[in-house]
Every structure is written in structure tokens, then in C-alpha cells.
Amino acid sequence: MKWLCALLALCMLMPMALAAAEEFSVPAGFDQRREDVTYGKLEFKTYYSTACGRERKCFVYLPPNYDPDREYPLLFLLHGIGGNESEWTGGKPDVVLGNMVSSGEAVEMIVVTPNVKAFPAGASSSVNMYSPEAFAAFDFFINDLRDDLLPFIKANYKIKEGRENMAVAGLSMGGREALYIGLSMPETFGYVGAFCPAPGVLPYYAETGLFATDAFKADENYPTFIMINAGQSDGVVGEWPKTYSDTLTKNGTDHVFYVTAGGHDFNVWKHGLYNFAKNIFQ
């Protein structure tokens, strides 16, 4: 129960964290490979998705000095609207996390970067990436994750049990899905990270959202660490990250929200990964 006490203590401090959001920073060279650091291994995997009715792909980042007989916490890291399972290579999670593990800022973890565009079995995948059908495929990923990908990872790697050892985070459209998945599956995920999250979680214009505005909040029975970040000059998702933060605050859900220099790019997304990784599985 040590993790729960720590998480509850963190939640009590959250208003202070929100007020001091501008102080979030990353150390120089946090995303640069160093000769004195041991980095993990990248594995390419395929698995059969019953939800999608086809073989699907993912990458698995194993931590430095990976021991197949040891259990590890698990982070799912989700890509954006135009990406796939390889997009996060641009964010160098192996380097960022390898440096953090070496310096004691993060614990060793297994990271999975899946293809989040999950078309249901029988549905055509030949659609414009900005079409409603493509957005729906991203939202459908929750079924593939729950029913197929997560069981596959647990069958092939030793994963620590308990929501305190499970995290989901993503960039842009992946941030939208991380919020959706994390808040919809609170019994599974104890940590949620959304880096420049895309619109669609809440109602907008004439569109319905994944949550009604008053339902967008953490389950009070499951203390959850939630972090949202935004780029100062992000002209793609605009004010949506702050809107999500303001709505969580209005609905009584403590969380971290901060803004950093940059736009809708890996400068901001890597920044988010660093600060998120500092706060999970500790």
C-alpha cells in the first residue's frame, strides 16, 4: 500500500503543482545518448487482434539490463493521428528513459508503442486520416488494448500486477486516447499522461465527445495520477489541453497541467514524457 499512500500525498499537493506549472523543466541533454549509460533493447512484435480481426504491430522497449525473470511495470505510449507504432522513435523514449533510470529519476519499465488506429473487424482501413472513420478507429483501440494487446504483452513478458504498475500516455491524438482509456479503465491504469491532447474527449462544435462534460473526471474509488501538458505555440490543438485541465478542475479531479515552450512537436512531447516518467511507478 506504500504506492497508494504516496499517490494520495501527491494528490494533496496537486494544487501547488498546478500553481507552479511554469517551473517544470528538463535537464540539458536529457534526450541525448551518453557513453556512460546503458540503454535498453527494442523489439518488434506482432499479435492477433480479435477486436480488429487481423494481425497488428507494436514495438516493445525493454529497460536497461532487462531480466526476463523479473517483473516490470508497464507503460503504453500512444502515437498521433498520422503516425503508427514507430512514431515514438522520434521521441527517443529508450534514450530519455535510459538516462532517467541511470540518474535515478525513473524506475525501470517496459514500454509498448502500439498502432492506435484500430479499425474493427470487417471495417475498411482505406480512409482519410482526418475522417470520422479514422477518429473512430482511434477510439476503438480501447477494445484492442483491453482484449488483445494487454493479454499478449502479459503472456510474453513478466508484468507487475496492479494498477499501480500500469500507465498509459500519448501525444496529440494519442493523448486524447490516453485520457479516454485511462479514465474509462481506472481499475487497470493508475497513471495517465496526455501531451498536447487532441480535441474529442469533450463535446466540441456539433460533435459529441467521448465523455459528457460533467462525466470527465477520475473515479473517486481509484486515485489516479493525471498529467497534461501543452506547447505555448501549439496551433494544432490550440486551447484543448487547458480546456481538459479546467474541466478536470471543475469536476473535482486533481491533476498536473503545465505549459512549456514549443509547438505541436516532439520538443513538447518529450518534455511531457520526461516529467510523466518522473512521477510513475515510484
Question: In this predicted model, what pLDDT tens digit does every residue of 93-109 receive, in sequence order?
Answer: 999 999 999 999 999 99
280 pLDDT higher than 80: yes
Q: pLDDT-derived band of residue 205, with 50, 70 and 90 as boundaries? A: confident
213 pLDDT higher than 50: yes
Residue 38, classed as helix, strand or coil, is: coil
Structural domains counted in the chain: 1
Residue 20 lies in a domain: no
**pLDDT for the residue 22:** 53
Give pTM, 2 decimals: 0.91
The domain in which residue 257 lies consists of 27-277
10 pLDDT higher than 70: no
Work out the mean pLDDT of the chain and round it to a whole number.
Answer: 92
Residue 5 lies in a domain: no
Residue 14 lies in a domain: no
Residue 10 lies in a domain: no
Residue 98 lies in a domain: yes
Q: Contact at 8 Å (CB) between 275 and 195? A: no
207: exposed, middle or buried (C-beta count within 10 Å: 0-12, 13-18, 19+)? exposed
Q: pLDDT-derived band of residue 14, with 50, 70 and 90 as boundaries? A: very low
Residue 12 lies in a domain: no
11 pLDDT higher than 60: no
Question: Nearest 10 degrees: CA dihedral of 65, 69, 71, 74?
Answer: 60
CATH at 79: 3.40.50.1820
Q: Contact at 8 Å (CB) between 272 and 180? A: no
Element (H, E) at 48: strand 41-49
Residue 134, classed as helix, strand or coil, is: helix
Find residue 167's DSSP bridge partners: 75, 191
Q: For residues 173 and 81, give the distance between their C-alpha atoms in angstroms, rounded to a whole number.
A: 5
Output the CA–CA distances (angstroms, integers) from residue 199 to 30, 81, 101, 146, 191, in the order listed: 29, 12, 33, 23, 20
